[in-house]
Amino acid sequence: MLDESKAIKAKDITDNPDEVYGLMRSHVLLTDSSMNATFSNLMDAVDILADAGWELVNITYDGGYMFAMFKNPNYKRKNERL
């Protein structure tokens, strides 16, 4: 099970892509590291989340790490009408 309370490793999503359908937060943060700047796990995880309907909000690079913030367009606050 993916832990939404912290940044999710892109590899965790690529290893278990169906788990993205259990994510419940309004936003999630993905992270990946790469020695040669390929970030292949992050790129695959971006595709998986996009296919599941999530929207990419921002992507940033910081010294060997890349982060991607996604928004859940289907998120509804508790007690909010659909």
Tell me which CATH code domain 8-71 carries: 3.40.50.150
49-72 mean pLDDT: 95
What pTM, to 2 d.p., does this model score? 0.87
Q: For the chain, which residues make up each domain, given as ranges?
A: 8-71
Confidence of residue 63 (pLDDT cuts 50, 70, 90): confident
pLDDT, tens only, 4-48: 899 999 999 999 999 999 999 999 999 999 988 899 999 999 999
What pLDDT, on the 0 to 100 scale, is given for residue 50?
A: 97
Smallest Cα–Cα separation from 30: which of 18, 79, 44, 38?
Answer: 44
Cα gap 25→37, rounded to integer Å: 29
Enumerate the H helices of 1-82 as residue ranges.
10-15, 40-51
